Structure 1
Amino acid sequence: MRFAVSFAADLPSRCKRMRAAFDRDEREALFEVALSIRSSAQMVGARRLAKEARALHDAARTASRSECAREVAAVEATAAATIPALERAVDRLRRPSA
């Protein structure tokens, strides 16, 4: 549960690093942050985010800039939806069972 809380709190900064790497056209940094998001998303069960991050991870080294732009936008949108979903899941786990 602590990892999920930490991941949700850190995800916005990872997305900022991802956007900055894309804006600077630093493909290796983009590849690394996509891998980081993907791995952590898999660990917390955020399957859709893991899928989007994998697509970016795969695109980062070889795809066109416009394709990478689409993948970055998809990760950003999915991350924005994932954070509140993770927070709700953690809240449910913290509640004492009846």
Structure 2
Amino acid sequence: MVNSKLSMSQQCVLVAKKTNRIMKCIMKSTAKSSDISRSSEMILPLYLALVRPHLECCSGLLSTGQMWSSWSRSQWKATRMIRGQEHLSYEKRLRKVGLFGLQKK
């Protein structure tokens, strides 16, 4: 979707909402008490297959800091869900699982 100013910001907002819904499904499907379902071997493939492609499709179009922060939030949630990494900073969690921030992409 492109508005009259030839901006795809509306499309990016819809994609951000979609990724948030997907992240909620991932969070609900992984039991908090189970170490296996909260491991990086379980969370990262789900995030990389279901969420990250949506974020990357609009990443070149984003220019506002507010939009970047809402998009980075999905990745922040995914790394935070991994058991044993809850206490680490976002940058340390990214390094530990081998991901880059969306702005570097």
TM range (shorter): 0.3 to 0.5
Q: Which has the larger helix fraction?
A: 1
Which of structures 1 and 2 has the larger relative contact order (alpha carbons within 8 angstroms, sep 6+)? 1
TM-score between both structures, scaled by the size of structure 2: 0.36
TM-score between both structures, scaled by the size of structure 1: 0.38
